[in-house]
Amino acid sequence: ACEPDPRAAQIPRYVRVNTLKWDLENALEYLSSNGFSQHTSPFESKKSFAIDNHVPNLLAFHSTASFHSDTAYRDGRFILQDKASCFPAYVLSPDPSIHIALDATSAPGNKTTHLSSLMKNKGKIFAFERDQARFSTLQKMLKNAGCKNVDAFNQDFLTTDPRDERFRGVTHILLDPSCSGSGIVNRLDYLLTSAESQEEDKVKEERLEKLAAFQLLMIKHAMTFPNVQKIVYSTCSIYPTENEQVVAKALDLEEAKNAGFSLAPRAEVIEKWEHRGVNKEMGEYKDQADRVVRCRPGEDKTNGFFVSCFVRNTSVKSNPG
C-alpha cells in the first residue's frame, strides 16, 4: 500500500535561497562549484536546476535531488520548501516599515522564515504554534535561518486576545492551519497516512467537515484583530470543503461584513498562475473564483495547494478595538 504516488516524479525538489543569510548570486556560485548547472528545466539531468519564474529566490532541482546532508541546507542558507508553499508569504508580503505580521500556525516554520526574509529581518512577526514538540522544531528553524524579527509563542492562536496591547497593531495575518494534507504527494510521511485514502466516504466527509469548521473559526478569529488589513488563508488540501467552501463561508461571516473584508483581486494573488478556484464550490461568490489559487498535484509541478487572500476595505471603521 506504500507505493510512491506517480505524480511525485513530476514535482521538482524546490530549494528556497534564504536571503537572511546570503543571496541568489552567492547561491548560484555555490551550486556551480558543487557540480550543478542551470537550465530552463530542472529535469535536464540529475545535476541541473532552474530558477523559478513565479517566486523570487526559489530554485527547482531534479525530483531525485537530495539536500539533507548539504552544508547550505544544514546551516540554514537553503530552505527545502515546495513552490506552492512559498505562495502564502509572497502574497502577504508585509512592508516591515509600516506593517506588523502574525503567523497563526507556524511550525515547522517554512512560511515564518519566508516572511522574515521578505521583511528583511526588520519590523515584527508574531508566530504562534500550539503543539509543544512542533514549537521546539519551530524555534530551531527560526534560529538556524537567522530570523531576528520573530517573537514565537507556544500558544493556541484562538486563545489570543486581539485587543491585547502586544497584538492590536497586527496588520497582516498568515493562516496555514492543519488540514487533510491531501495535496501532498511527494512526502514519505504522507504515504504512511495513506491508509486514510481507504476510509469510507462518510467517515472522510465527517473528518473534512470538522477540519473545515476549525479552519473557518481560525479565519473568523483573525478577522477580529482591530487593525488587520490582509489575511492569507492557505491549505495543502485538494478538497473544496477545506478551500473554496471555507472561503465562501468566511465572506458570509458577520465579522467579515462588519470589518469590510473581500477577496483580493487576481492581480494581487499570483496573477499569472493558470489554475484558479472551482467556481461552483463558491456559491454566491462563484464569479470570484479566479481570485483564489489552486495548485494541482504533479500537473502544476507542485504539491496540491490552495491560496486565498482577504483584504479589508479600510474605509469601513466598525472594528476600531
Shortest Cβ contact with ligand SAM: which residue?
105
Residue 109 touching ligand SAM (CB under 6 A): yes
Q: Are 10 and 297 in contact (CB under 8 A)?
A: no
The binder of ligand SAM chosen from 90, 126, 157, 225 (CB under 6 A): 157
* By CB under 6 A, residue 86 contacts ligand SAM: no
- The residue written with cell numbers 483580493 in the block is 264
> Interface with ligand SAM includes 177 (CB under 6 A)?
yes
Compute the least distance from the CB of residue 37 to ligand SAM, in Å: 30
Does residue number 308 form part of the binding site for ligand SAM (CB under 6 A)?
A: no
* Cβ neighbourhood burial of 142 (10 Å; 0-12, 13-18, 19+): buried
- Regarding 178 and contact with ligand SAM (CB under 6 A), the answer is yes
Give the number of residues in contact with ligand SAM, rule: CB under 6 A. 19
Query: Does the protein bind ligand SAM through residue 162 (CB under 6 A)?
Result: no
Of 300, 201, 304, 293, the closest CA to residue 247 belongs to 293
Closest CA to 262 of 273, 247, 275: 247
Query: Does the annotation count 295 as an active-site position?
Result: no
- Tell me whether residue 31 or residue 295 sits nearer to ligand SAM (CB atom): 295
The DSSP 8-state label assigned to residue 286 in this structure reads G
290 is in an annotated binding site: no
Is 156 marked as binding a ligand?
Answer: yes
CB of 160 to ligand SAM, least distance (A): 9
Q: Between vectors from CA 270 to CA 230 and to CA 241, what angle results, nearest 5°?
A: 70
- Confirm whether residue 199 is marked as ligand binding: no
Q: Residue 207 interacts with ligand SAM (CB under 6 A)?
A: no
Residue from the set 105, 149, 229, 308 that interacts with ligand SAM by CB under 6 A: 105
108: cis peptide before it, omega within 30°?
A: yes
CA 264/CA 262 separation, integer angstroms: 6
Interaction of residue 108 with ligand SAM, rule CB under 6 A: yes
**Following CA atoms 78, 80, 83, 88 in sequence, which dihedral angle do they give, to the nearest 10 degrees?**
-90
d(CA 234, CA 197): 22
Residues making contact with ligand SAM (CB under 6 A): 85, 105-111, 128-131, 134, 156-158, 176-178
Q: Which residues are annotated as a binding site for S-adenosyl-L-methionine?
A: 129, 156, 176
